[in-house]
């Protein structure tokens, strides 16, 4: 049989690299990067390459729907059909809605699955409004909400770095997952400045013209200090400030106290680093930033940290111009009413709409349109403020991805839950506790598309190989569950019809499937394939719903002082508050737990908690590890390459010590994967949900007031040599 070559997109992580998959019958024989893809430029990483193993070697993979026959967690299953599984899910949905109301059903979703809008539609079919349960308090929303509030840009607001005079990687390491790294280094060779701000001295720090390592959770203070220097030196455009920004004098007054010396003291850096960062940003534009999750997410002061960085971008003024901040429109339209079945005229924060924890974290309710996860988990245990009876997790492993894993475990094992359904690739720790498990198709095995995180791009995915067993993509699962609940809302025959309807209805692409696949990347807002994005959309009335020039904010301008923030009880001007659990805010606790723990940084293989069972990925990092500075290792008797125990008031885990100056002194960096799964091919153990999972150490309270972000990247801990009893 001739080798088939399929052009598609890897969705293992958010980078969405273009790839060619070569297959021989049902087997993948090779995967290589697509050099014409405008996001990845032919680059592909080891995690993407391992799709060959994931597809070809299905040992341990969920291949058929299964129903629990023993006790929960006993590991005893029987195979059932998709119809049996879906009929059970639909009949239980109807019963629970009837007896307890739709809020008693929680649907959880993992990240990066290209189905956010369809998931929301399914929830609407159930009688819910919003996402139900997603960990967007961890990453997505604290990442983009400050941009939405400050700049009116509902996206990560990544910069056009290949055309920047000064490139800023703020808590962002594109060497991990982005083909753009090569372009950044090329731009630097051609004269561009590269500033890397990250608590870890990471891959890109080594290439930086200026590398700054702020203490975790203090990036907001650093941003305010840079703003102060930019203003004090007159490195801004007064005409831009007058025409397009709001609250400049308030911002000027606020930053006055953030002198380089004070910022240096807060951030544990040198004052000259603050001055130099401001000089580069203020004098060598355009400035393009890529802001990752570290600075403005996973801290109890997350939103204001992100606000400070967003305001710095607004002050510098390189908005929607080549080399500056990209302003996409895709994200704003992704969750429109036609697909979600929401009524946007209704305020999602309205008091009469019940959400779990919406009263506690109103910003999450209004912008995240989700339940507060910790309130949901507590409701699963206690039945208060309302009972939760059914939990459906789609590509989601809550035991690994939420803070305070012991609380999540108590919730997942609660006898109050009548039905737990998990749809995933493997029997994850959460799936092991389920009543029904459902098998999932991976990216090479499905034909859908992505419009979610790619700014102006719509990426076509083609199916390279048939899915093994009875693995379904999530689109089909939502479709079939939705049909059983309300067929009028789910009229399509299959995923391809869903895709083509979406493209025609929302983007004006009236295409056959073959025509859609013939152009792998389309620009949103352009009818001609390959058309260039439009710049300075704020001047042309392309950003505001009323078609007027300006930004889609309350004032129509970039808001240094935000009426929206004030309405939610925040200081309207960005300010710095100390993380809730730090050596400064909790000096007594710090006597027993003297180090700052930070979880969640990426490593070259794996995506979140997934794939530690896959040999090609596990070979890179066989054992759990955490990074500590040599001074801290010496102080606490920890040896490079040996086991250590990391403890916090919440619990303890084990890791091998990686003793390196990559870590900032006084901090411990625990990467994301948690090494939950055994890798049989390499004879390596799995550590489940509780033995190497940094989230065991993280408190669920206190949380960021409006949004509920927790202290995943700034909590107190200690290290000791050895494994103890783990």
- Closer residue to ligand SF4 (CB): 44 or 280: 44
Indicate the pairing of strand 651-659 with strand 625-628: parallel
For the bound state, the minimum distance from the C-beta of residue 447 to ligand SF4, rounded and expressed in Å, comes to 17
Instruction: Tell me the closest approach of the beta carbon of residue 401 to ligand SF4, in angstroms.
Output: 17
274-277: long-range contacts, CB 8 A cutoff, minimum separation 24: 274/222, 274/225, 274/226, 274/229, 275/229, 276/210, 277/195, 277/197, 277/210, 277/212, 277/222, 277/226, 277/229
Residue among 671, 676, 697, 694 nearest 686 (CA): 676
Cβ distance to ligand SF4 smaller for residue 17 or 657: 17
Number of Cβ atoms within 10 Å of the Cβ of 518:
12
The closest of 342, 340, 336, 383 to 103, measured between CA atoms, is: 383
Q: How far is CA 644 from CA 589, 657, 692, in A?
A: 21, 6, 11
For residue 606, the minimal CB distance to ligand SF4 (Å) is: 9
**Applying CB under 6 A, which of residues 45, 151, 393, 422 lies at the interface with ligand SF4?**
45
Q: Is 101 exposed, middle or buried (0-12, 13-18, 19+ CB in 10 A)?
A: middle
Binding to ligand SF4 (CB under 6 A) within 371-400 occurs at none
In the bound state with ligand SF4, the residue whose beta carbon lies nearer, of 17 and 134, is: 17
- To the nearest whole angstrom, how small is the minimum distance from the Cβ of residue 370 to ligand SF4? 25
Stretch that binds ligand SF4, among 12-20, 57-65, 453-461, 641-649 (CB under 6 A): 12-20
Buried b (16+ CB within 10 A) or exposed e, 77-91: beebebeebbebbbe
177 vs 397 by CB, closer to ligand SF4? 177
If binding is defined by CB under 6 A, does position 711 make contact with ligand SF4? no
Which is closer to ligand SF4, CB of 107 or CB of 114? 114
State which residue, 16 or 446, has the beta carbon closest to ligand SF4.
16
Q: How far apart are CA 524 and CA 536, in angstroms?
A: 16
Q: CA 42 to CA 134: how far, in whole Å?
A: 32
378/601 with CB nearer ligand SF4 = 601
Report the residue number whose CB is nearest to ligand SF4: 48
Supply angle C-alpha 331, 335, 338, rounded to 5: 135
- 480 versus 677: smaller Cβ distance to ligand SF4: 677
Half-sphere exposure of residue 722, counting CA atoms within 13 Å on the CB side? 2
Residues 6+ apart with CB under 8 A from 651: 405, 406, 690, 696, 697
Residues 320 to 359 in contact with ligand SF4, rule: CB under 6 A? none
Return the residues of window 157-186 that contact ligand SF4 according to CB under 6 A.
177
* Shortest spacing between CB 613 and ligand SF4, in angstroms: 16
Q: Considering beta carbons, is residue 424 or 690 the nearer one to ligand SF4? A: 424
Which of the ranges 8-16, 200-208, 325-333, 478-486 carries the binding residues for ligand SF4, by CB under 6 A? 8-16
C-alpha distance from residue 384 to each of 108, 376, 377, 380 (Å): 19, 9, 10, 8
Tell me the site size for ligand SF4, rule CB under 6 A: 11
- Find the angle CA(18)-CA(173)-CA(34) to the nearest 5 degrees: 15
> Cβ 42 to ligand SF4, closest distance in Å?
11
Of 113 and 365, CB closest to ligand SF4: 113
Tell me, residue by residue from 279 to 308, as one string, x for binding to ligand SF4 by CB under 6 A and - for no binding.
Answer: ------------------------------
Shortest Cβ 139–ligand SF4 spacing (Å): 15
β-pairing verdict for 4-9 and 18-24 = antiparallel
Bridge-partner residues for 325, per DSSP? 159, 319
Task: Kindly state the smallest distance separating residue 365's Cβ from ligand SF4, in Å.
Answer: 32
Cα-Cα end-to-end distance for the chain: 51
C-beta of 5 vs 338, nearer to ligand SF4: 5
With H, G, I as helix, E, B as strand and everything else as coil, classify residue 67. strand
Using CB under 6 A, which of 6, 7, 8, 13 touches ligand SF4?
Answer: 13
Of 11-19, 260-268, 303-311, 561-569, which segment contacts ligand SF4 by CB under 6 A?
A: 11-19
Binding mask of the shown chain, residues 14 to 43, with x at each position contacting ligand SF4 by CB under 6 A: -xxx--------------------------
Asked whether the beta carbons of 159 and 289 are under 8 A apart, the reply is yes
Smaller CB separation from ligand SF4, 13 or 263: 13
Which helix (H) or strand (E) element contains residue 242?
helix 238-244
Q: Are strands 449-450 and 457-460 parallel, antiparallel or unpaired?
A: antiparallel
Q: Mention every residue, 6+ apart, whose C-beta is less than 8 A from residue 382.
A: none
Q: Is the backbone peptide bond immediately before 702 cis, with ω within 30 degrees of 0?
A: yes
Decide whether 47 or 479 has the Cβ nearer to ligand SF4.
47
Q: How far is the CB of 183 from ligand SF4 (least distance, A)?
A: 15
User: Are the beta carbons of 105 and 94 closer than 8 angstroms?
Assistant: no
Contact between 12 and ligand SF4 per CB under 6 A: yes
In this complex, which beta carbon is closest to ligand SF4, that of residue 23 or of residue 617? 617
Write down the least CB distance from residue 323 to ligand SF4, Å: 24
| Paired tokens of 416 | 């109050």
The residue from 21, 28, 44, 479 that contacts ligand SF4 (CB under 6 A) is: 44
Separation of CA 197 from chain center:
19
Which residue carries 């801990």 as its tokens? 717
Rounded CA separation 681/614 (Å):
8
Min CB(18)–ligand SF4 separation in Å? 9
**With respect to ligand SF4, which residue has the nearer C-beta, 16 or 119?**
16
Site string for ligand SF4, 128-147 (x = CB under 6 A): --------------------
Find the part of the chain contacting ligand SF4 (CB under 6 A) among 44-52, 89-97, 550-558, 704-712: 44-52
Q: Which of 6, 48, 175, 699 is close enough to bind ligand SF4 by CB under 6 A?
A: 48
Please pick, from the candidates 47, 196, 280, 459, the single residue that binds ligand SF4 as defined by CB under 6 A: 47
110 lines the binding site for ligand SF4 (CB under 6 A): no
Site for ligand SF4, residues 208 to 267, rule: CB under 6 A: none
What is the DSSP track for 386-441? S---EEEEES--HHHHSSSHHHHHHHHT-TT-SEEEEEESB--TTGGG-SEEEEB-
Q: Token digits for 140?
A: 């997505």
Min dist. Cβ of residue 14 to ligand SF4 (A) = 7
**Side-chain half-sphere exposure of 587, counting CA atoms within 13 A:** 1
Report the residue number, 45 or 210, with the smaller CB distance to ligand SF4: 45
**Which residues bind to ligand SF4, rule: CB under 6 A?**
10, 12-13, 15-17, 44-45, 47-48, 177
């Amino acid at each position: 049989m001739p080798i088939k070559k399929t052009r598609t997109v890897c969705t293992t992580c958010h980078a969405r690299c273009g790839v060619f998959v070569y297959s021989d019958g049902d087997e993948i024989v090779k995967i290589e990067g697509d050099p014409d893809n405008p996001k990845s430029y032919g680059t592909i990483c080891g995690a993407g390459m391992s799709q060959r193993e994931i597809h070809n070697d299905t040992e341990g993979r969920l291949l058929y729907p299964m129903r629990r026959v023993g006790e929960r967690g006993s590991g005893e299953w029987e195979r059932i059909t998709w119809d049996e599984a879906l009929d059970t899910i639909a009949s239980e949905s109807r019963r629970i809605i009837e007896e307890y109301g739709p809020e008693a059903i929680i649907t959880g979703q993992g990240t990066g699955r290209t189905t956010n809008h369809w998931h929301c539609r399914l929830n609407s079919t159930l009688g819910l409004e919003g996402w139900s349960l997603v960990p967007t308090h961890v990453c997505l929303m604290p990442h983009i909400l400050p941009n939405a509030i400050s700049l009116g840009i509902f996206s990560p607001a990544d910069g056009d770095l290949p055309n920047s005079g000064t490139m800023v990687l703020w808590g962002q390491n594109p060497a991990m997952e982005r083909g753009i790294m090569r372009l950044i280094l090329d731009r630097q060779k051609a004269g561009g400045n590269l500033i890397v701000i990250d608590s870890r001295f990471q891959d890109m720090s080594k290439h930086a013209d200026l590398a700054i390592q702020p203490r975790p959770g203090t990036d907001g203070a650093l941003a305010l200090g840079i703003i102060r220097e930019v203003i004090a030196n007159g490195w801004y455009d007064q005409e831009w400030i007058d025409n397009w920004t709001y609250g400049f004098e308030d911002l000027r007054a606020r930053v006055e106290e953030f002198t380089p010396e004070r910022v240096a003291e807060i951030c544990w850096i040198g004052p000259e680093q603050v001055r130099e960062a401001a000089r580069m940003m203020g004098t060598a534009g355009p400035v393009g930033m890529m802001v990752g999750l570290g600075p403005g997410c996973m801290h109890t002061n997350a939103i204001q940290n992100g606000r400070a960085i967003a305001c710095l971008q607004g002050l510098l003024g390189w908005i929607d111009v080549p080399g500056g901040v990209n302003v996409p429109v895709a994200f704003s339209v992704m969750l429109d009413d036609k697909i979600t079945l929401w009524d946007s005229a209704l305020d999602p924060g309205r008091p009469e709409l019940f959400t779990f924890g919406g009263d506690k974290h109103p910003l999450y309710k209004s912008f995240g349109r989700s339940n507060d996860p910790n309130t949901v988990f507590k409701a699963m245990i206690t039945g208060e403020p309302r009972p939760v009876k059914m939990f459906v997790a789609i590509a989601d492993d809550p035991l690994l991805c939420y803070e305070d894993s012991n609380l999540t475990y108590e919730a997942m094992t609660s006898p109050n839950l009548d039905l737990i359904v998990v749809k995933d690739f493997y029997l994850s720790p959460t799936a092991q506790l389920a009543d029904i498990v459902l098998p999932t198709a991976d990216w090479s095995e499905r034909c859908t598309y992505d419009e979610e995180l790619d700014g102006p791009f719509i990426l076509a995915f083609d199916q390279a190989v048939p899915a093994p067993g009875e693995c379904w993509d999530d689109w089909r699962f939502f479709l079939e569950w939705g049909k059983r609940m309300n067929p009028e809302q789910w009229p399509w025959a299959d995923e391809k019809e869903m895709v083509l309807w979406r493209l025609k209805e929302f983007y004006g692409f009236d295409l056959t499937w073959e025509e859609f696949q013939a152009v792998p990347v389309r620009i949103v807002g352009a009818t001609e394939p390959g058309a260039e994005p439009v710049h300075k959309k704020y001047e042309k009335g392309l950003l505001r719903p009323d078609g007027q020039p300006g930004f889609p904010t309350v004032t129509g301008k970039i808001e240094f002082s935000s009426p929206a923030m004030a309405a939610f009880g925040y200081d309207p001007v960005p300010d710095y508050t100390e993380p809730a659990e730090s050596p400064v805010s909790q000096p007594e606790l710090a006597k027993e737990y003297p180090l700052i723990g930070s979880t969640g940084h990426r490593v070259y293989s794996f995506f979140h908690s997934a794939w530690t069972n896959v040999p090609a990925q596990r070979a890179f990092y066989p054992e759990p590890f955490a990074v500590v500075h040599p001074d801290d290792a010496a102080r606490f008797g920890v040896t490079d390459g040996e086991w250590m125990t990391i403890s916090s008031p919440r619990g303890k885990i084990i890791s091998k010590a990686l003793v390196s100056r990559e870590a900032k002194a006084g901090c411990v960096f625990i990467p994301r994967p948690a090494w939950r799964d055994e890798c049989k091919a390499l004879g390596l153990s799995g550590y489940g949900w509780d033995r190497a999972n940094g989230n065991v150490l993280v408190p669920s309270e206190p949380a960021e007031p409006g949004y509920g972000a927790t202290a995943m990247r700034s909590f107190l801990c200690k290290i000791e040599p050895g494994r103890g009893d783990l």
